Structure 1
Amino acid sequence: MAATVVSFVSNHLATLLREEGSLLGGLRQEVQLIKDELGHMKAFLKVAEAKEDDDPRLQEWINQVREAAYDIEDVLDEFVLRFAGYRHHGFGGSLQRILKASKSLRARHQVASEIQSIKSRIKNISEGRQRYQAEFAIDDRVAGSSTMTNSWRYSRDDALLVEEAKLVGIDQPKQHLISELLEGDDYQLKVVSVLGMGGLGKTTLVKKVHEDPDVRKNFPVRAWVTVSQTCDFPKRLRDLIWQLHKELNKSVPQFIESISTTELKEFVKDFLQQVGRYAIVFDDVWDVEFWNEIKFALPEGNYGNRVMLTTRKADVAFASCTESQDFVYKMEPLSIEDSWTLFCNKIFKGNRCPDHLMDVAKAVLDKCDGLPLAIVAIGGLLASKDVSRIDEWEMIQQSLGGELEGTGKLERVKRILSLSYNDLPSHLKPCLLYLSIYPEDYLIDSRTLTQLWIAERFVEWREGMNIEDVAWGYFNELISRSLIQVAEVFYEGLPDKCQIHDLLREVILMKSREQNMVTVTTGQPMTWPSEKVRRLALHSSSNSSNIQYHQQRQFYSFEHLRSFIAVSFTNPLLSKTFLSEVLRSSKLLKVLDLRGEEIEETPNEIFSLLHLTYLSLYGTKVARVPRAIGKLQHLEHLNLGNTGVRELPVEILKLLKLRHLRVYQQVDPSDSDYGYHGFKGPSKLGGLLALQRLNSIDASSGSVIVKEIGKLTQLRVLYITQLRREDGKELCSSLVNLTSLQQLRIASVGKGYDFEIIDLNHHQHSLSSSSSCSFLQSLRLLLVRGRLETMPVWITHLQNLVKINLSWSRLRADEDPLKSLQHLPNLDAINFCGCYQGEGLCFKAGGFQKLKWLWLKKMEGLRWMAVEEGACPHLQRLILHRLPSLEDLPSGIQHLSHLQELYLYEMSSQLMEKVGNQKEDSEDYRRIAHIPEIDIGFYADDGEWIIRRLWGKKKKTILA
């Protein structure tokens, strides 16, 4: 961590000397000396941090370096803030302001005094470096060679696309638990508790059981609620309600946000009594009181309902299992054989361990005591080592020998995870510790996290690489070391949501407190750290509504604060008070994330934060951006998503460092494709040359703005709304220049079905050329609310296309879209909505080799579908929605051997009747018998949405 701080402070000093050299005057030499000394320390720090746990003196020296570097940054940022102000297109625009400010001799003397003081501190610290360097025999010329990843490259390979480790020792307990769920009295609620210490894999086991096809067939209604140690009971009830309604494609009533806990329990009970057989998991239960509360919301009914519960505490497990048929399963550590299998799967990808490593590998594995978490963690550490270097493995073994002599297994796992942290390259340590800003069990948005890393200057620029790719590389490396768990993925396999294990989070919190990385508050009275608060995360608390802010105000010191992040805070009054205090006293703030806060106007104090690089007002009620936004000359990331902002002032053009601009409003939450308003930008938007993400620009003002888009050659993501017919040619001309584009979404002018024809067949040769398409990696082309009539030829050349959405393009009957797309090698997902006017679609043999997800909707003329053997071999989900002329299932559907889900919504009465009333010995039944889950959905005469679910031999009708 200290090495990273020193690195970006050193870079900051270099920038200051280069851009503000004349402003420094006589202080330039002093600043240069400080920069040079920090440079000498950087390499030494990379090795010293790996050894700091061995010697408290070294740890103290590292703390001194870190705090000195932070103080240098504070002084220099204050200096620039005081004397330079903000820029008006360069140095000359603020020359008069600088000259006037420079007359403040008292202020300049104060800055000079602070720099002299820091210089003296740095000199003393440097002497300590030389002393420790000799004592620990560290050669800073090769420092960090064992931990730095010099051969690093960005890719989406095995770490993201392959299971982290082959699950072992899980088949027998999984089948045991499935049997317990399926057997027993069908007229009584049965509870199955899984008991075991942290790190044994309780959640993993239960998740596999919960998702098993036999369980899914027998329990039409399923939900998963993560309880955790700090349980907010009403919030968990609302989460359960949300999941149940989502499972049945039903809207959640608004009133559940305002009713009492008792009323919430009554609502859940009434709802479950109506829907039929259910299986609900309550994961990570810590308190008996939770079960005593939740059991009154669970009706026994006469369907044989089931509840699964995971816990570390025996009293919780046995308290929930009081009936004769209830069952407690106690998890045990892995056997020696299974431990060895998991260990080799993680490190050697299933191959055998080399003979020369056998002894040291077994010695390391012995320390893990069969705990899967420990095995995977230490395996991730060893997987990064050279298998030909037995000395590197022996070094890990020796470290474990001294580190893991704790009294309990939980403590030993913590120490293993601490060792994994210590082994991280210096550039990854702050990225991992930064996860302490999130609450327990929080689903972390991967893109937001990597953008925050960039804003915090944790991510180093690399020659010839985009900073976004470098950040994803960091993320990928933490995944490969088993320190971040992927919870959800995009279609193309990249992580969408991620989490950290509870035990690892404890280690991260401990390290974060030690290094004053992040201060977390729920707004309740607390003892604040004596160190200066530099990053403040505001979390929700079920008790915070009763806290009066003035009780603790005296403990705050915000003048050194660099980041303020509100994470799902629930007390608007307290949050506003916090925010007011932060903005009043934090002039050096660089990161401000207020997503979801109850804010109706952008606070004026924000426009005094001249060092701000990251500003998120996502989900707030802000509807206007003041012209003062132009003052934020260092802003790189501006997120106004899901706000009321519809237009940006011309002053936005002053933000020449802006890389991400997200301004949109979702007006139809049920329609993720085109239910959005974009924003109207200034006519010279093309001047924002650093832009990489533009989401979403309203093009209704004409071809001028479409032409300006072509100047934004760094764009990777582009969403356009309100595109006019006559601007199709200009858009194609602009797209030719966007050789880095990865995602494109286009929505045209029009209402209902009266959409304008967009001709995207211009510049075919240029758009199809290798120079244009070679950069189109993971392009997601979404053509929505725009009639095409003919498929643009250049689409067939998009070799890296992963997802395509054609909505209302209304291709002519002779323009079969499948012909253009079937041989695209990476196509993963297709969404066709009103896109084709032909009578039939045939998926040819050999086509769509990677397709997993297919949604066909609102094609009124479609009468038949066929799937030839060898087509779509990996299709997992098929959705047929409102195809009134289709009277039979696709011929050849039996060839889709990997199909897991078939959804038939608002289809013809002939098709619905045929599928819903099949006999098991019929040919039609045998065609779909291999599909684990089938839904039939339709509206009843009274407007009620009805879903009928069929699983194999059993049918269950569910009224939603």
Structure 2
Amino acid sequence: MAEQIVCFVIDKLIQLLITTEANLSRDVRKEVGFIKDELDSIRSFLKDADVKAAADGERTNDSVKTWVNQVREAAFYIEDVIDEYLLRITRHHQDRGFVRFYNKIIWLAKRMRSRYGIVLKVDSMKELVREIKARSERYEFSSIDQQGQDNGEKTLPWHDPRVASLFIEEAEVVGIESARAKLTNLLVGGAPRREVISVVGMGGLGKTTLAKKVYDSQTVMDHFDCYAWIPVSQTYRVEDLLRKVIKMFYNSSKENFPEGIDTMDEESLIRKSREYLQQKRYVVVFDDVWKVDFWGAIEHALPDNKGGRIMITTRIQDVADFCKKSCFVHVHHLQPLSPTNAWKLFCRKAFQFELEGNCPPELEDMSREIIKKCEGLPLAIVCIGGLLSTKVKGVNEWQKLYNSLSSELQSNPHLTSLTRILSLSYHHLPYYLKSCVLYFGIFPEDYSINCVRLIRLWIAEGFVKLKKGKTLEEVGEEYLTELIHRSLVQVSKVYRDGKARECRVHDLFYEVLLKMCADSCFCHVLSKDQSAFKPTTRRLSMAISPSDALGSITQTHIRSVFTFNQKEWPESFLNSWSGNCKLLKVLDLMDAPINQLPKYVGDLYLLTYLSLRNTKVELLPDSIGNLQNLETLDLKQSLVYQIPAKINKLVKLRHLLAYYRNYNMDFCMNRERGVKMHEGVGCLQDLQKLYYVEANHGGIKLIKELGKLRQLRKLGLKKLKREDGKALCACIEKMNHLESLDLSAISEDEILDLQSISTPPEFIRSLWLKGRLEQLPSWISNLQQLVRLVIYWSGLRDSPLKALQNLPNMLELRFGQMGYDGRQLHFEEGGFQKLRILVLKDMEALNSLIIDKGVMPLLQEFHIGPSPQLKEVTSGIHHLHNLRHLLFYGMPKEFARQMDPNNGPHYWIVKHIRHVRFVYNFGPGNGKAESHSLYDSDFSFWWNA
């Protein structure tokens, strides 16, 4: 856990040398370079110490623990020195008392060397790292890199609970019947070719158990001529693996091993394996594979013959994907146990020797809470159930265990194996991902985090490293994808195109992360039980009232502050931070009950992330212009309307998110409000997201300024006028990276003039147009990347369907209150081949809707209404074979009667739809909504009275 801290500080030292070369003397720069080099060499020792600590757990040598802690504290000290130095540079750079920046730098460099003692601090840093390195040599720590022992010969000194998965009795296995049947069919069926079956899932999910039960089945044994089961784990030698495979193949056929196999090199082993398997049907299981390129190391030893099968169990999706380069691959994502099977397994373990395996009624509620915590993870259910089988069967005793589960996971011998299994994935991560995973410990339990927000926070913390040709946001998205593919992070919500929208971690892994966060000083969660924290703690997550936390927040080293579930907020609380959190980089006050931001916020010169989302703050102080390191300013759902002119000084700003949506209003043009911005916004040339800005305040001058923002990925403009059209079109054409565009006219009757765009940005994926369009702009039909199109209040004279139906990536199409004069919409054959969602809202004149066969073959959701003239059931709806969700809103009673399951002539058309909802109004201010499954016996309809 300490390696990533040292790596982070090394990166900061490099950045210090690059960005402050003019401020540091040659001697000081030389010393800083020496510190960086020494830390780099210490890192290899530290990596080995981290491995030892992970492997040995509580038995780790005290000297190793002490040394790791000292390295961590030294890294924190160096980070503090660097940040304090940068703080003073930034502060004096903004001091208007100096006429020329050059004179300020010269003055500051002299002052820093004398008054602030930068030379002395650098000398102190140098001596500190020297002592640490000497101490590691005295302790005789060895380095994996220096000794070259990363060759698979290292064995874990603790009992590996994964071994037990190989010997689970049939009666103890629960909930794998379907998966076992599927995998068995994949092994013994299919084409006569080599195929790979990958079983992917997080640690403890039962991959090894499932694979072993399939492998041991008589069906599999009878089908293949030879077979092998090979545990792989995190480190291995290819020669040893191949040797084991060959020996097991020979052994399964009851043949003698070939002579000299123990001395063969890799090439000879591959030849021997291919020779032996040439005319044989074989199956081999590689259990617990971690290295992505594993398949590349062994594929040539397993020939593509008359039906070879290779099964791989792994926590890492990329391991499975790598095999696709040369083999047909089936990927089976193992799912958690269902609640029913989880309950069955828990009772089987907790009451295995008493009560005939049944849970007593008084323990049922508590037992289900414990099972809920396990989230269907079989290993967790078995371990915790086994522990509870040793306890008194009383509610108080079980409640105590539930309340102390976090500490029990670290110390109770029944549970430490579970903790280690869950931790293995973390310890296998590269250093740059470890901090990203620890970040989940900041948020409350069961918290589903918006992925975009999470990536912005990673960037603000400095965790994301720039790659050539990619933005930081794109690199951060790669980091998150890798964590998801490693089965460490779970996707809890997705966008329409399948991309992750929200994510979380498993509840028990969250408990493990909390311990890691506290031990490494990464973060401390302030609660009533844990208000005190280590002096070097870097981040605070406040889960208690600010008044209770006030005495704790007096540390200048804190870098990030988060608040959650706050019910009250003393006005003096934020003011009390002045001077105590001067090195703050992240201030996330989302959902906090505050109504103003103190003026001193402008003194937080190093702040990179500020969120006032969903607060009652109305005004931003002018001092916000001092935050020249600010990258994200999140004002969503706050009451801020006027953006100070000084925000134009924030040249590093990447995301300005500001709008207020009134959820108490019906959908209309004024439901959302943007913000008012001053001219000069064009100097914010790093901006990637800007929405929503009200264009009527700055008019054409403001729009022309926006044309300078060439890095924009998302732009939202409100209150546009017809006369803005040409300037707006010229502005949009310059935004080559634009992916999302949201444009709203100043009123429902105002024209959106977008006709003069000739070369729209080619990467637009989402387009929202709200205002009158006399005709659909022709350029829209050229947006090959367009995924979502939303058009409201358009007033189109002609049907837009022909112009849109061949867009290759369209997944979502919404038309609302169009004022469309035509009475018919015809979805013609062959169109909208990828469309998943179709919404037709407020089509007042529509009386005919035709859907040809072969159109919208993948449509899953269809919403329509109110359409008072549409009295006939949509012609061709029976062609939509993938339709699963159907919503009718405010349809006439003649339409509803045709769908009545009792005597409606068209009820059979939608009998395959999973969920249908009918919403019918009963007059002004009165309505009733009913939601039914078509399989409900009491299915009923409501229509306009």
TM-score by length of 2: 0.71
Q: 1:611-643, CA deviations, whole angstroms, 9 ceiling, x for partnerless residues?
A: 100111111111122221111111111111112
| Aligned partner of residue 91 in structure 2, secondary structure | coil
- Alpha-carbon distance in 2 for matches of 1:89, 1:867: 68
Aligned to 1:595: 590
Alignment of 1:559-708 (within 5 A): 559-573=556-570, 579-668=574-663, 674=669, 675-700=671-696, 701-708=698-705
- Alpha-carbon distance in 1 for matches of 2:431, 2:586: 22
Give the Å deviation of 1:15.
3.2
Q: Percent identity?
A: 34
Give the Å deviation of 1:58.
4.4
Q: Which amino acid aligns with 2:24?
A: L
1:842 to 810, 823, 826: 826
- Alpha-carbon distance in 2 for matches of 1:379, 1:666: 51
Change (3 A) 1:653 1:426: same
Q: 1:578-635, CA deviations, whole angstroms, 9 ceiling, x for partnerless residues?
A: 5444344010000000111122221112111101001111111111222211111111
Instruction: Give the structure with higher Rg (CA).
Output: 2
- Alpha-carbon distance in 1 for matches of 2:140, 2:677: 56
Alignment of 1:500-539 (within 5 A): 500-522=505-527, 524=528, 526=530, 528-539=532-543
Residues 692 and 715 of structure 2 are in contact (CA less than 8 Å); yes or no, is this contact kept in structure 1? yes
RMSD after superposition: 4.0
Residues 602 and 625 of structure 1 are in contact (CA less than 8 Å); yes or no, is this contact kept in structure 2? yes
1:804 corresponds to 2:675: no
Q: Which amino acid aligns with 2:729?
A: C
- Alpha-carbon distance in 2 for matches of 1:958, 1:11: 65
Q: Which amino acid aligns with 1:596?
A: D
- Alpha-carbon distance in 1 for matches of 2:473, 2:215: 33
1:358 corresponds to 2:344: no
- Alpha-carbon distance in 1 for matches of 2:179, 2:483: 31
- Alpha-carbon distance in 2 for matches of 1:474, 1:730: 39
- Alpha-carbon distance in 2 for matches of 1:747, 1:452: 30
| Aligned partner of residue 801 in structure 1, secondary structure | coil
Give the Å deviation of 1:528.
2.2
1:85 corresponds to 2:101: no
- Alpha-carbon distance in 1 for matches of 2:939, 2:516: 52
- Alpha-carbon distance in 2 for matches of 1:103, 1:200: 59
Give the Å deviation of 1:525.
5.4
Change (3 A) 1:128 1:390: farther
Give the Å deviation of 1:878.
0.9
- Alpha-carbon distance in 2 for matches of 1:134, 1:355: 45
Residues 2 and 65 of structure 1 are in contact (CA less than 8 Å); yes or no, is this contact kept in structure 2? yes
| Aligned partner of residue 427 in structure 1, secondary structure | helix
Alignment of 1:333-344 (within 5 A): 336-337=209-210
Change (3 A) 1:948 1:172: farther
1:781 corresponds to 2:772: no
Change (3 A) 1:93 1:341: farther
- Alpha-carbon distance in 1 for matches of 2:608, 2:847: 55
Q: 1:517-572, CA deviations, whole angstroms, 9 ceiling, x for partnerless residues?
A: 110013x25362334221000125xxx6xx963xx755554211000011232232
Aligned to 1:821: 804
List gaps (5 residues or longer) in structure 1.
Answer: 147-166, 174-197, 202-332, 345-351, 365-377
Give the Å deviation of 1:807.
0.7
Give the Å deviation of 1:844.
1.9
Aligned to 1:856: 840
- Alpha-carbon distance in 2 for matches of 1:105, 1:498: 45
Give the Å deviation of 1:17.
2.9
| Aligned partner of residue 295 in structure 2, secondary structure | coil
Change (3 A) 1:453 1:866: same
Q: 1:293-352, CA deviations, whole angstroms, 9 ceiling, x for partnerless residues?
A: xxxxxxxxxxxxxxxxxxxxxxxxxxxxxxxxxxxxxxxx899557756999xxxxxxx9
Residues 450 and 503 of structure 2 are in contact (CA less than 8 Å); yes or no, is this contact kept in structure 1? yes
Aligned to 2:481: 476
Alignment of 1:438-453 (within 5 A): 438-453=443-458
| Aligned partner of residue 79 in structure 1, secondary structure | helix
Residues 49 and 64 of structure 2 are in contact (CA less than 8 Å); yes or no, is this contact kept in structure 1? yes
Give the Å deviation of 1:18.
3.3
| Aligned partner of residue 697 in structure 1, secondary structure | strand
Residues 744 and 780 of structure 1 are in contact (CA less than 8 Å); yes or no, is this contact kept in structure 2? yes
Residues 112 and 118 of structure 2 are in contact (CA less than 8 Å); yes or no, is this contact kept in structure 1? no
Q: 1:242-293, CA deviations, whole angstroms, 9 ceiling, x for partnerless residues?
A: xxxxxxxxxxxxxxxxxxxxxxxxxxxxxxxxxxxxxxxxxxxxxxxxxxxx
Residues 3 and 46 of structure 1 are in contact (CA less than 8 Å); yes or no, is this contact kept in structure 2? yes
| Aligned partner of residue 638 in structure 1, secondary structure | strand
Q: Which amino acid aligns with 1:360?
A: P
Alignment of 1:782-931 (within 5 A): 782-784=768-770, 786-812=771-797, 815-835=798-818, 836-915=820-899, 917-919=900-902, 923-931=905-913
Q: Which amino acid aligns with 2:724?
A: D
Aligned to 2:305: none
Give the Å deviation of 1:129.
5.7
Residues 47 and 144 of structure 1 are in contact (CA less than 8 Å); yes or no, is this contact kept in structure 2? no
Aligned to 1:496: 501
Q: Which amino acid aligns with 2:83?
A: D
Alignment of 1:208-287 (within 5 A): none
Change (3 A) 1:838 1:95: same
| Aligned partner of residue 880 in structure 1, secondary structure | strand
Aligned to 1:386: 294
Change (3 A) 1:563 1:361: same
Aligned to 1:323: none
Of residues 64-73 and 509-518 in structure 1, the stretch that sits farther from structure 2 once superposed is 64-73
Change (3 A) 1:426 1:713: same
Change (3 A) 1:415 1:846: same
Aligned to 1:12: 12
| Aligned partner of residue 387 in structure 1, secondary structure | helix
Aligned to 2:746: 749
Residues 558 and 581 of structure 2 are in contact (CA less than 8 Å); yes or no, is this contact kept in structure 1? yes
TM-score by length of 1: 0.70
Change (3 A) 1:414 1:919: same
- Alpha-carbon distance in 1 for matches of 2:42, 2:881: 60
- Alpha-carbon distance in 1 for matches of 2:531, 2:728: 58
Q: 1:17-70, CA deviations, whole angstroms, 9 ceiling, x for partnerless residues?
A: 333334334633332322332344456655654444245444543433332222
- Alpha-carbon distance in 2 for matches of 1:416, 1:128: 32
Change (3 A) 1:699 1:199: same
- Alpha-carbon distance in 2 for matches of 1:136, 1:40: 10
1:738 corresponds to 2:735: yes
Residues 88 and 654 of structure 1 are in contact (CA less than 8 Å); yes or no, is this contact kept in structure 2? no
Alignment of 1:119-518 (within 5 A): 119-128=126-135, 135-139=142-146, 169=176, 336-337=209-210, 358-360=229-231, 382=290, 384=292, 386-389=294-297, 410-518=415-523
- Alpha-carbon distance in 2 for matches of 1:656, 1:142: 49
Residues 947 and 958 of structure 1 are in contact (CA less than 8 Å); yes or no, is this contact kept in structure 2? no
Residues 689 and 713 of structure 1 are in contact (CA less than 8 Å); yes or no, is this contact kept in structure 2? yes
Change (3 A) 1:119 1:680: same
Of residues 949-958 and 877-886 in structure 1, the stretch that sits farther from structure 2 once superposed is 949-958
Of residues 12-21 and 927-936 in structure 1, the stretch that sits farther from structure 2 once superposed is 12-21
Q: Which amino acid aligns with 1:471?
A: G
Residues 682 and 706 of structure 2 are in contact (CA less than 8 Å); yes or no, is this contact kept in structure 1? yes
| Aligned partner of residue 906 in structure 2, secondary structure | helix
List gaps (5 residues or longer) in structure 2.
Answer: 154-173, 181-201, 218-222, 236-285, 300-311, 316-378, 384-408
Give the Å deviation of 1:912.
2.8
- Alpha-carbon distance in 2 for matches of 1:354, 1:553: 71
Q: Which amino acid aligns with 2:229?
A: M
Alignment of 1:548-559 (within 5 A): 549=548, 555-559=552-556
- Alpha-carbon distance in 2 for matches of 1:362, 1:340: 19
Give the Å deviation of 1:902.
1.2
Residues 862 and 885 of structure 2 are in contact (CA less than 8 Å); yes or no, is this contact kept in structure 1? yes
Q: Which amino acid aligns with 1:417?
A: L
